[in-house]
Amino acid sequence: MTVASFHPPSRMLMGPGPSDIHSRVLQSLGRPIIGHLDPEFILMMDEIKGLLQYAFQTTNQMTLPISAPGSAGMEACFVNLVEPGDTIIVCVNGVFGGRMVENVERCGATAIKVEDEWGSPIDLNKLEDALKANPDAKAVAFVHAETSTGVQSDASAIAQLARDYEALTIMDAVTSLGGTPVLVDEWQIDACYSGTQKCLSCVPGISPITFSDKALEVIRTRNHKVQSWFLDMNLIMGYWSSEGSTRSYHHTAPVNTLYALHESLVMLKEEGLENAWKRHQRNHQALKAGLSALGLELIVDEAHRLPQLNAVKIPEGVDEALVRRRMLSDFGIEIGAGLGALAGKVWRIGLMGQSSSPRHVTLALAALEGVLTDLGVSIKDGDAAGAAQKVLLA
Amino acid sequence: MTVASFHPPSRMLMGPGPSDIHSRVLQSLGRPIIGHLDPEFILMMDEIKGLLQYAFQTTNQMTLPISAPGSAGMEACFVNLVEPGDTIIVCVNGVFGGRMVENVERCGATAIKVEDEWGSPIDLNKLEDALKANPDAKAVAFVHAETSTGVQSDASAIAQLARDYEALTIMDAVTSLGGTPVLVDEWQIDACYSGTQKCLSCVPGISPITFSDKALEVIRTRNHKVQSWFLDMNLIMGYWSSEGSTRSYHHTAPVNTLYALHESLVMLKEEGLENAWKRHQRNHQALKAGLSALGLELIVDEAHRLPQLNAVKIPEGVDEALVRRRMLSDFGIEIGAGLGALAGKVWRIGLMGQSSSPRHVTLALAALEGVLTDLGVSIKDGDAAGAAQKVLLA
């Protein structure tokens, strides 16, 4: 077998992540490698910590990137904070809440599920009932922005409720970080993890994470060793702690991927969080106007809708997989399929990070209109791109 | 805080990894990202599986890269094969054997340690005694090439012994893969993991792994769920399985890092494994000749010495950290410190992958001779680079 070098096809990524990556970040990836204990690398690690604190809006000392994807970031929160026999309340309104339940159970703990419809936000009354019924619950875990449905829940209110009942909070901010406000300190979230390949527009493979001092205390005073050696925060802090000379080897950091994370965070800082949030909102409004011109609806109620992840109802009788294939083959545009309970029922159009731009919105709408028309699907007003322009250029 | 883009200093990496990376691999990293479920990406994933089978010299179907560093590859082997209550024999002759013990214990199993001196290979007689004393041992775990000492153990004989007592084998090939023979099928190893940042000269952050059919059967018939959701091979196979259309989402693959792994494996295939092994051996011989001219000794017996990782005894009275700092500041050359029991006692000079070249050997020796001379350390014959040339140009 002879294998040639791989050259990726030209794509525009508008699915649930990864999103498109700026050339500055791609170029940073290809810079020569240096050692993971090199003094210059360690200075860069400190900058990454500071930049992540900005992104998470926190002063938490334990704020750093886990050397593995978002699902490992999720697991890091659970294996460090949960011990066998604990009770954890998990809000489930999509795929990722379900994954949290798996995590709790694999820690030998009991998961009390608070379930809501896919596409609806977490119901605070149901959560309060669960907290009342389980006074020993150690933590409330929830997904801030459900990538599987495009819904955002009220993190501030959930965290307040958890505090009222003396429970910690574990928050999934994989899709929200950099796209909509994630205010870790203001909301008093105890553990929060994210991904890099969504609104940060970096390569996938690392998971930014932050723990409050209260969470740290829980980790330090555990009765059992953390079941994962690789994700044991007691050990990881030995490498990421700020005292340079006492830094101890845990695992080899993903050097070049961290170059890319650094660059993407520098770009976020340059743009400013508020501006990034506004940009995601504006492009979402434009997309919505265009979809509306095509007669397409979003499944999530306006009040809880994520601007960066748009779950679009598939019109009756349309072969949704064929539409996605045609978008990819004819235009090189990737949009996402439904996941779990929404498989076959929605397309997921991502406007995340670099993929949240007037260029993406305009082209995706024009391409979608063309494909649907070619497949004989009846559309409402048409000129979806034009409808988007009215918002974008207003 | 304003943060500027990070530009790494110019380095030549000759520590215990990461090693230098070829420009072909660095350039592949910076190619535009595509989706992790893109049909073209899936074709590339299949090529990676085939290329890893070549690197491991195996036909194992379950051969793939874990989306996290080598220590997660280690953990993947243990959490999938070990269940609470199991007994695992772990050979410990360096840092990484010790880490295996941690992994076994965190799975709720008992680790029976077979300990050897740091710098010595695993003693087969001691291992056989442990197997006799623990007839219910489920597996024997060992490190093929100890990165902390530079010693290589007899994997073929260890695996044969394990089979004689009906135990599985778990082998760490982090530092050996691509540098010295790793013959998974010929030796009948049941689970083997490696790293990418050593002799494969790829970026750190992923861990190639392979499981035999016998190991797969053990994983499929477990009594308990795998304690890590992220590392559960039952789930990972759903994404990496070869039937393209049934491929199911588990986590977002590290797309660009896999571009780099693909390119580094294509380069290994082009060179040929046997040629890569010979190259590592030749450059090691040259380094040895040069070190000898300086009066420096390797701590490992010639018969068990790894060509790619050279643990050099620190001469009496030399400030070893100062020497490393001078190598870095005056020449941009990184050599490694001792780890664990060998901290302060050895330098670790890596000749791995792209860092195993006549250029690296020559410059490192000349620089080391210069620094030692400048520090007033008495050296033996001198002209270390010249001594190396005699081997290299013979």
Give the residue extent of every domain in chain B: 22-269, 273-392
List pLDDT tens digits, range A223-279: 999 999 999 999 998 888 756 556 778 999 999 999 999 999 999 999 999 999 999
Name which of A29, A322, A327 to mutate to probe chain B: the one with the most chain B Cβ atoms within 10 A of its Cβ: A29
Chain A positions in Cβ-Cβ contact with residue B250 (cut-off 8 Å): 71
B72 touches chain A (CB under 8 A): yes
Confidence grade of residue A361 (pLDDT, cut at 50, 70, 90): very high
For the CA atoms of B307, B309, B315, B316, what is the dihedral angle to 10 degrees? Answer: -130
A11 touches chain B (CB under 8 A): yes
Measured in angstroms, the CA of A294 and the nearest CA of chain B are apart by 26
Q: What is the 3-state secondary structure (H, E, C) of A337-354?
A: ECCHHHCCCEEEEECCHH
Q: Which two tokens stand for residue A208?
A: 């930014």
CATH architecture of the domain formed by A273-392: Alpha-Beta Complex (3.90)
User: Which candidate, B335, B333, B334, B288, places its Cα nearest to that of B307?
Assistant: B288
At residue A262, the 3 state secondary structure works out as: helix
- Considering only CB atoms, B106 lies closest to which of A41, A227, A255, namely A227
- Considering only CB atoms, B228 lies closest to which of A34, A51, A75, namely A75
Contact between chains at B227 and A226 (C-beta distance less than 8 A): no
In this prediction, residue B242 carries a pLDDT of 59
Burial of A156 (0-12, 13-18, 19+ CB in 10 A): middle
Q: Which two tokens stand for residue B270?
A: 């082009």
For chain B, the first-to-last Cα distance in angstroms comes to: 56
Does residue B287 have a pLDDT over 90?
yes
At residue A65, the 3 state secondary structure works out as: strand
A357: amino acid identity, one letter? S
List pLDDT tens digits, range B362-373: 999 999 999 999
Q: What is the DSSP letter of A73?
A: H
User: Which candidate, B206, B205, B198, B181, places its Cα nearest to that of B356?
Assistant: B198
In this prediction, residue B243 carries a pLDDT of 60
In this prediction, residue A244 carries a pLDDT of 54
CA-to-CA distance for B371 and B352, rounded, in angstroms? 23
Confidence grade of residue A191 (pLDDT, cut at 50, 70, 90): very high
List pLDDT tens digits, range B164-195: 999 999 999 999 999 999 999 999 999 999 99
Contact between chains at B33 and A17 (C-beta distance less than 8 A): no
User: Which candidate, B299, B327, B295, places its Cα nearest to that of B146?
Assistant: B299
CB atoms within 10 A of CB B130: 19
User: Which candidate, B336, B337, B391, B386, places its Cα nearest to that of B365?
Assistant: B386
Residue B84 contacts residue B60 (beta carbons within 8 Å): no
Q: What does pLDDT average to over chain B?
A: 96
Residue B294 contacts residue B373 (beta carbons within 8 Å): no
- Considering only CB atoms, A29 lies closest to which of B18, B29, B44, namely B29
> Quick one: angle between helices A273-293 and A255-271, nearest 10?
80
Chain B positions in Cβ-Cβ contact with residue A229 (cut-off 8 Å): 71, 75, 99, 102-103, 106
Measured in angstroms, the CA of A328 and the nearest CA of chain B are apart by 9
CB atoms within 10 A of CB B150: 28
List pLDDT tens digits, range B218-259: 999 999 999 999 999 999 988 887 565 567 789 999 999 999
Chain B positions in Cβ-Cβ contact with residue A3 (cut-off 8 Å): 47, 50-51, 262, 265-266, 269
CB atoms within 10 A of CB A84: 12
In this prediction, residue A326 carries a pLDDT of 98
In this prediction, residue A249 carries a pLDDT of 82
In this prediction, residue A240 carries a pLDDT of 83
CATH of A22-269, one of 3.40.50.150, 3.40.190.10, 3.40.640.10, 3.30.450.40: 3.40.640.10
DSSP of B342-376, one letter per residue? GTTTEEEEE--GGG-SHHHHHHHHHHHHHHHHHTT
- Considering only CB atoms, B40 lies closest to which of A8, A107, A249, namely A8
Q: Which two tokens stand for residue A65?
A: 């990137």
Q: Which two tokens stand for residue A373?
A: 């028309």
Chain A positions in Cβ-Cβ contact with residue B5 (cut-off 8 Å): 24, 28, 262-263, 266
Burial of B346 (0-12, 13-18, 19+ CB in 10 A): buried
Q: Which two tokens stand for residue A223?
A: 């009765």
Give the mean pLDDT of B67-76.
Answer: 98
At residue A263, the 3 state secondary structure works out as: helix
B235 touches chain A (CB under 8 A): no
- Considering only CB atoms, A30 lies closest to which of B29, B41, B103, namely B29
In the block, tokens 């500041």 appear at: B329
B83 touches chain A (CB under 8 A): no
In this prediction, residue B211 carries a pLDDT of 98
In angstroms and rounded to an integer, the radius of gyration of the C-alpha atoms of chain B is 21
Which residues lie closer than 8 Å to B125 by C-beta, 6 or more apart? none
Question: Which residues partner with A362 through β-bridges?
Answer: none
Contact between chains at B230 and A2 (C-beta distance less than 8 A): no
CB atoms within 10 A of CB B142: 29
Which residues lie closer than 8 Å to A292 by C-beta, 6 or more apart? A380, A387
CB atoms within 10 A of CB A14: 29
Confidence grade of residue B2 (pLDDT, cut at 50, 70, 90): confident
A31 touches chain B (CB under 8 A): yes
Closest-CA residue of A relative to B197 is A252
Give the mean pLDDT of A180-208.
Answer: 98
Chain A positions in Cβ-Cβ contact with residue B249 (cut-off 8 Å): 339
Strand B12-14 to strand B333-337: parallel, antiparallel, or no bridges (unpaired)?
Answer: parallel
Residue B13 contacts residue B355 (beta carbons within 8 Å): yes
On whether ipTM exceeds 0.95, the answer is yes
Q: What does pLDDT average to over chain A?
A: 96
Q: For chain A, positions 123-152, list CB contacts with chain B under 8 A.
A: none
Q: Which two tokens stand for residue A323?
A: 């539409």
Contact between chains at A5 and B11 (C-beta distance less than 8 A): no
Provide the strand spans (E) within B155-268.
168-172, 191-193, 207-211
Strand B12-14 to strand A87-92: parallel, antiparallel, or no bridges (unpaired)?
Answer: unpaired
Contact between chains at A75 and B36 (C-beta distance less than 8 A): no
Contact between chains at B8 and A103 (C-beta distance less than 8 A): no
User: Which candidate, A196, A55, A184, places its Cα nearest to that of B3?
Assistant: A55
In this prediction, residue B133 carries a pLDDT of 98
DSSP run (H or E) holding B92: strand B87-92
B350 touches chain A (CB under 8 A): no
Measured in angstroms, the CA of B80 and the nearest CA of chain A are apart by 12
List pLDDT tens digits, range B332-347: 999 999 999 999 999 9
Chain B positions in Cβ-Cβ contact with residue A47 (cut-off 8 Å): 3, 6
A204 touches chain B (CB under 8 A): yes
In this prediction, residue B196 carries a pLDDT of 98
Residue A121 contacts residue A155 (beta carbons within 8 Å): no
User: Which candidate, B94, B89, B93, B67, places its Cα nearest to that of B78?
Assistant: B89
For chain A, the first-to-last Cα distance in angstroms comes to: 57
List pLDDT tens digits, range A154-188: 999 999 999 999 999 999 999 999 999 999 999 99
Chain A positions in Cβ-Cβ contact with residue B13 (cut-off 8 Å): 33-35
At residue A61, the 3 state secondary structure works out as: coil
Contact between chains at A269 and B2 (C-beta distance less than 8 A): yes
Q: Return the number of CB contacts < 8 Å for A and B.
A: 250
Percentage helix, strand, coil for chain B under 3-state DSSP, each rounded to 5: 45, 15, 40
Measured in angstroms, the CA of A381 and the nearest CA of chain B are apart by 32
Question: Taking CA A255 as the corner, what is the angle to CA A254 and CA A260, rounded to the nearest 5 degrees?
Answer: 100
Strand order in the sheet with B333-337: B12-14, B333-337, B346-350, B309-313
Residue A319 contacts residue A351 (beta carbons within 8 Å): no
Q: Which two tokens stand for residue B169?
A: 């084998």
In the block, tokens 């082009």 appear at: B270
Contact between chains at A254 and B69 (C-beta distance less than 8 A): yes
Encode A302-336: b = buried (16+ Cβ within 10 Å), e = exposed: eebbbbbbbbbbbbeeeebeebbebbbeebebbbb
CA-to-CA distance for B156 and A58, rounded, in angstroms? 52
Closest-CA residue of B relative to A227 is B106
List pLDDT tens digits, range B111-134: 999 999 999 999 999 999 999 999
